[in-house]
Amino acid sequence: TALAPEAISRVKEIVPGLSNYGAIHYLINHENFSLDQKIQDDIEQAEIDHKFNHTRTQAEEILQRYARIRQAMQHTVVEEGPLEKSMFTEKLDRVLMHRVWGYVILIAVLFLLFQSIFWLASYPMDGIEWAFAKMGSWFSSVLPQGWISNLFVNGILAGLGGIVIFVPQIMILFGLITLLEDSGYMARISFLTDKLMRKVGLNGKSVMPMISGFACAVPAIMSARSIENKKERLLTIMITPLLSCSARLPVYTILIGLVIPKKMVLGLFSLQGLVMMALYLLGTVLAMLVAWVMKWFIKSKERSFFILELPVYRSPRWKNALTTMLEKAKIFVVDAGKIIMVISILLWAMSSYGPGNRMEKVEEKYAAILQQSPADSFEIEKQKNTEILENSYAGILGKTIEPAIAPLGYDWKIGIALITSFAAREVFVGTMATLYSVGEEEGETTLRQKMQAATRSDGSRVYNLATGLSLLVFYVIAMQCMSTLAIVKRETRSWKWPVIQLVYMTALAYLLSWITYKIFI
């Protein structure tokens, strides 16, 4: 079947000697060719006169090409293996891509994915946490007392330990995603969700960048370049950061471990795994809702088509999965480690020093109290360390922003972590590790134990259920990543869209976190 015959004939008149195929390429890509302005204008006018649609013509051309290839192969190729594979694939697709059961199976796959992350990672995480606690205790005993020892143990080692503990979960997450990709199932998700995507202003092409967003929003946003439709590409860029990237995983893990009991539901399912899955689903649902709202404000007459060749199902390549796990672990530790190293040192300095002689006055105050009540030395020492930290530069900064975040149930230490984690979300854990280590004498106490023991001035726990869930919701939604904002600016070539993104995500995060806190308080 001829493609756009009138437009092709007109272009062949404008540029003599072109074949039909060449004329189509001139119609589609003439802006990128070095042509005289008159020829450019004539081709543009031919498109308007004959209502030439780039996307539709390309889609029809691809379909016709594959139809010819299939026809030729049916007459020339005889091979049993591919046919058997094709029949097996078609049988599986009848179930996995069913309009009802396909979605049920997809949710079940995601459910097993998040259950596996908690179940498989629990033992290595406990081992790493124990090892860093022992190392901190050992270094405290062998290094000479002073600021260098304090910096290394309570600053650098505490910060790195707070992030290395989550390497097993990062490896398991990427390993399982790689297995899904290798098996051929990941491509089916794009087709399965295409109809749903169209209802919110997207199409199946947005699925792969969004799935990539579960790993990291930066390459996911860059991969949106493959979406030809400008409106759909912009919508994809604007919602991708709502999908929980791997940098959020350490934050989710430590907060879930603090406020969600480690118990089974119906004797089969981990409650912590269910909460983890709910967080990922929350981000996905919000992304769909935001896309649906934004599609009414971002106008475009251009229509899009979604064509994707589905691969046959095959056994995953285990070596490939293992290689991916090791590479992602290395990238996570090296990239996050650099940022955490700098922030931990800076935060240690801000937490160890303060303006004027405020910290010295606190020392003198509690020295006098200790002389009067030597029997209460442990409690007095604890109160002294808390007040010294509050009078440090970090404490003063945290106390300044505390009124703004108090309605969400957060104290000033959480406020400091919200600021520092804007460099990278996983820095939240390193920040907590440093803040809860400065002034501590007990080297074998883990970060989780310190956070569980944290109390407010009225004696209530800092990390109760309401605060923990509020903080989880905040990190699901908030734009806590400078790199993502930078890449959005580069891809949209404007500061307009990253600013809109930062404002709407921060406002939505604050509102939903406040609602969550009020519900569970």
- Domain borders along the chain are 5-78, 101-294, 329-520
Asked if the model's pLDDT at residue 423 lies above 80, the reply is no
The predicted model gives 91-116 an average pLDDT of 83
| CA dist list (Å): 486 to 18, 111, 247, 270, 482 | 43, 33, 17, 38, 6
- Determine the residue type at 387: E
Q: Mapping DSSP to helix (H, G, I), strand (E, B) and coil, where does residue 269 land?
A: strand
- HSE-CB at 244 with a 13 A cutoff on CA atoms is 24
Predicted local confidence at residue 405, as pLDDT: 92
Q: Cα separation of 129 and 135, whole Å?
A: 10
The predicted model gives 89-111 an average pLDDT of 84
Predicted local confidence at residue 408, as pLDDT: 93
Higher pLDDT, 79 or 128: 128
Q: Cα separation of 216 and 226, whole Å?
A: 17
Q: Hey, what are 400's tokens?
A: 């300044």
Q: Cα separation of 103 and 241, whole Å?
A: 23
Q: Cα separation of 35 and 53, whole Å?
A: 21
- Determine the residue type at 26: Y
Of 54-58, 442-446, 516-520, give the lowest mean pLDDT range.
442-446
Question: Which band of pLDDT confidence, cut at 50, 70 and 90, is reported for residue 62?
Answer: confident
Say if CB 227 and CB 205 are below 8 A apart: yes
Predicted local confidence at residue 1, as pLDDT: 44
Q: What is the pLDDT of residues 353-374, one digit of tens each?
A: 888 777 778 777 777 777 777 7
Asked if the model's pLDDT at residue 32 lies above 80, the reply is no
Asked if the model's pLDDT at residue 454 lies above 90, the reply is no
The predicted model gives 298-302 an average pLDDT of 71
Asked if the model's pLDDT at residue 479 lies above 90, the reply is no
Q: Cα separation of 66 and 73, whole Å?
A: 10
State the average pLDDT for the chain.
81
Asked if the model's pLDDT at residue 513 lies above 70, the reply is yes
Q: Mapping DSSP to helix (H, G, I), strand (E, B) and coil, where does residue 264 land?
A: strand
Asked if the model's pLDDT at residue 81 lies above 70, the reply is no
- In the DSSP assignment, the letter for residue 296 is T
Predicted local confidence at residue 517, as pLDDT: 95
Q: What is the pLDDT of residues 162-175, one digit of tens each?
A: 678 778 877 887 88
Say if CB 420 and CB 428 are below 8 A apart: yes
Asked if the model's pLDDT at residue 507 lies above 90, the reply is yes
Asked if the model's pLDDT at residue 330 lies above 90, the reply is no
Say if CB 284 and CB 182 are below 8 A apart: no
- In the DSSP assignment, the letter for residue 461 is B
Helix (H) or strand (E) holding 302: none
299: Cα separation from own chain's centroid? 28
Asked if the model's pLDDT at residue 515 lies above 90, the reply is yes
Say if CB 179 and CB 109 are below 8 A apart: no
Question: Which band of pLDDT confidence, cut at 50, 70 and 90, is reported for residue 86?
Answer: low
The predicted model gives 145-174 an average pLDDT of 75
The predicted model gives 308-328 an average pLDDT of 83
267: Cα separation from own chain's centroid? 31
Query: What percent of the chain stands above pLDDT 90?
Result: 13
The predicted model gives 429-437 an average pLDDT of 79
Asked if the model's pLDDT at residue 378 lies above 80, the reply is no
Say if CB 397 and CB 350 are below 8 A apart: yes
